[in-house]
Amino acid sequence: MNLEAQFLTTLGELNEISWDMKKLSAQAISLIDLTLLDEKATSQDLKTLSEKGNVHQVAAICVLPQHLSTIAPVAATQLTTVINFPTGTQALSEVLTEIDQIMIHNQVNEIDYVFPYQNYLKGEKREALEHCHHAYTRCKQHGVIFKVILETGALPTLESIFALSCEIISQGCDFLKTSTGRINQGTTPSAAFAMLKAIENSNTSCGLKVSGGIKTPEQAFTYMCLAKQIRNRDLDNSWFRIGASSLLDELMRT
């Protein structure tokens, strides 16, 4: 059975499950990486984001490197930033220097790194994977969690998403992440399924972060239930995250 058929079977099983909306809403909030990746964000925008994230105890607050100094660190909430973002085309030397500078000047806990997917798709697979591995090694030297953004909307098939996920996991990462949210196709349940199957097959502690267009509670619940079903473990933010900017507001209304 191919991945598409497996996904449809799993989706059918999930559709038979009754959702406890109140319980899922509370759980979803604890899984959110509350995100603001707007270069034009003002100090007030960032302050509001930080306060909202801390009040509701989301998993993390994710902002651009240049905005890190505006976010006041709070012990209960992780601070996350992005590198090689959003196109995945920075030179390795630039990425490594940026990681070092981020860690010297800020109290960052996690880094979301865009895999060089464009080079990978052009056939430069070894170079792209080495780029990722060097970034991972540098992040581990600094003691930060390393999430790899595959940009699944640019990958042609579920099999290609699965294969790349397996390669990245085997050489080292803490989380796989679906999307930047900057291309037309964001995350999809089928892409998340392929990544979860790769994680399942790896027998590692690698986590998954879904992001890119998750705006409604129902979307979030689908990914949550999918992850729990495949990994057969209770959800918590040590291994499952939802990257979103407006989802928290919607969950507060449920």
- What's the whole-number mean pLDDT along residues 84-104? 98
* Closest residue by Cα to residue 28 from 246, 253, 237: 237
Residue 19: per-residue pLDDT: 87
Residue 25: per-residue pLDDT: 96
- What's the whole-number mean pLDDT along residues 89-101? 99
Tokens of residue 66, six digits: 């240049």
Residue 254: per-residue pLDDT: 78
Residue 74: per-residue pLDDT: 77
Per-residue burial over 66-97, b if 16 or more Cβ lie within 10 Å, else e, is ebbebbeeeeebbbbbbbbbeebebebeebbe
- What's the whole-number mean pLDDT along residues 144-153? 99
Q: Which amino acid is at 29?
A: I
pTM: 0.97
Choosing from 33, 112, 147, 197, which is the catalytic residue? 112
Residue 143: per-residue pLDDT: 98
Choosing from 33, 147, 197, 209, which is the catalytic residue? 209
Residue 73: per-residue pLDDT: 75
114-135, pLDDT tens digit by residue? 999 999 999 999 999 999 999 9
pLDDT band at residue 35 using 50, 70 and 90 as cut-offs = very high
**Whole-number Å distance between alpha carbons of 131 and 198:** 21
Give the helix/strand (H/E) hosting 221: helix 217-231
Per the annotation, the verdict on 236 as an active-site residue is no
179-211, pLDDT tens digit by residue? 999 999 999 999 999 999 999 999 999 999 999
Residue 59: per-residue pLDDT: 98
Indicate if the pLDDT at residue 24 is higher than 90: yes
161-185, pLDDT tens digit by residue? 999 999 999 999 999 999 999 999 9
Choosing from 33, 147, 177, 197, which is the catalytic residue? 177
48-93, pLDDT tens digit by residue? 999 999 999 999 999 999 999 999 877 789 999 999 999 999 999 9
**What are the structural domains of the chain?**
3-252 (3.20.20.70)
Task: Answer yes or no: are the C-beta atoms of 243 and 60 closer than 8 Å.
Answer: no
* Closest residue by Cα to residue 96 from 39, 126, 137: 137
Per the annotation, the verdict on 209 as an active-site residue is yes
223-248, pLDDT tens digit by residue? 999 999 999 999 999 999 999 999 99
Residue 100: per-residue pLDDT: 98
Contacts of 175 (CB under 8 A, 6+ apart): 145, 146, 147, 148, 206, 207, 208, 209, 239, 241
Per the annotation, the verdict on 177 as an active-site residue is yes
Query: 16 in helix, strand or coil?
Result: coil
